[in-house]
Amino acid sequence: MEYKNIVCNICSNIGMDNITIMLIWIMEILGTIIEINIKNKIIKKMIIISMWLTINVLEYSLFYIYYESILIPISILVLKGLGSIIRRKGITRLIYNTCISSIGILISILMIIYRKGNTVIEWLDITIIDNILSLISFSIKIPINPLHKWLIYAHSESSTIGSVILGGLILKLGIYGIYRINIRNKEKWLIILMLIITMISSINSSMIIILELDIKRIIAYSSIILMNIILGNLIMINWIGIYNSIILTYTLSLICSGLFILIGILYNRYLTKDNEYYSGLNINMNIFSKILLIMFFSNISLPLTCSFIGEFFIIWNFYLHYGLITIFILLSILFINILFIWYNTKILYTLINIYLLLIFDICRLEFFIIILFIFYITIIGIFPTYFTFLCDCITFYLLLI
């Protein structure tokens, strides 16, 4: 009887509301990739169940438990084919940073339980200390620079499917946690402090990216820059900030996942992620080159791509409220866009490396996997009204709580 009561208790705190709709949509897309690429049924079920529970839970303490449980299958995916010292270092940093960053959330949960007796998200009684602790923890998970090294090691040493799950969903759950918990923050000094931190993090990451040769690390750094800009915009707690943070978070999830899949396709053929090795791919990988070009254009937020609307209005929101910070944000975005245009030109359209001539273009399975991402990126970019209508519903829900 006691066991049945515990199960009923847990199930009563799991449900769906407006804020989970977009994450479920992303989960459905990534679920297809998981089904195709992960052969181990136990790991596959662990990932899917953990993600579904994390997305649909309506209690802060259960959200914490399910969120941390995703670390187990992700660690196994990163450890797959363990052999190098760097890979062992990557998984060690991943575990250490996840555990350390979770301490703040755990302390805030215990304090809320002590004060109120429950942690139902709708009825949370958040103090300034709870707000700071959870904000620091979620910021490390997003992550902010200089607490980002664990993510770079994890991406560079994990398998393709590990990077897709990590970049496409796990990091976005950090933003989701801030949507849920820290949206109640009204402290002006905390907002200004987080804006300064995210600004410095974005500029620092855009400088570091020049020295990187690993393509997966370059994509990871570009994701960190945009995630920090999203974080800074979100904590301003206004309609434009919440609305466009939601748009850019979910479109960035699609773009990062698609780019990691494309880099995985290259790695399967050439067994290297060094961008110095690749040149002139347009000659013998014509279909792949066109798909990669669309993904690069989406990543730099060109008009008619899915990320353009979100990024444009995020910059506009910074300009309306903090004009000086807008200059630094624009510089970091401009710098990363110029760098990606240069990488695109070099990888696709310069003289071909003679060692790349004998490799064939993408196969049917690879094409049908990546075309799913291209379809959504194109539809959202050309017909954003349907997507933004759903974001309207989510934003109004957030502003009412």
Distances (CA, A) of 155 to 94, 160, 184, 201, 249: 10, 9, 32, 19, 19
How far apart are alpha carbons 377 and 223 in whole angstroms?
16
Q: In this predicted structure, which of 8-17, 116-125, 139-148, 392-401 has the lowest mean pLDDT?
A: 8-17
pLDDT class for 88, splitting at 50, 70, 90?
low
pLDDT over 60 (residue 5): no
Average pLDDT (224-235) is 87
Q: Is the pTM of this model over 0.85?
A: yes
How far apart are alpha carbons 91 and 83 in whole angstroms?
12
State the DSSP H helix or E strand holding residue 336, giving kind and residue range, or none if neither: helix 323-349
Taking only the tens place, the pLDDT of each residue in 190-204 is 888 888 888 888 888
Average pLDDT (321-347) is 86
Taking only the tens place, the pLDDT of each residue in 129-182 is 888 888 888 888 888 877 777 788 778 777 788 888 888 888 888 888 888 887
Q: Kindly list the domain boundaries of the chain, sorted by start residue.
A: 1-185, 186-401
How far apart are alpha carbons 168 and 249 in whole angstroms?
10
Taking only the tens place, the pLDDT of each residue in 313-327 is 888 888 888 878 888
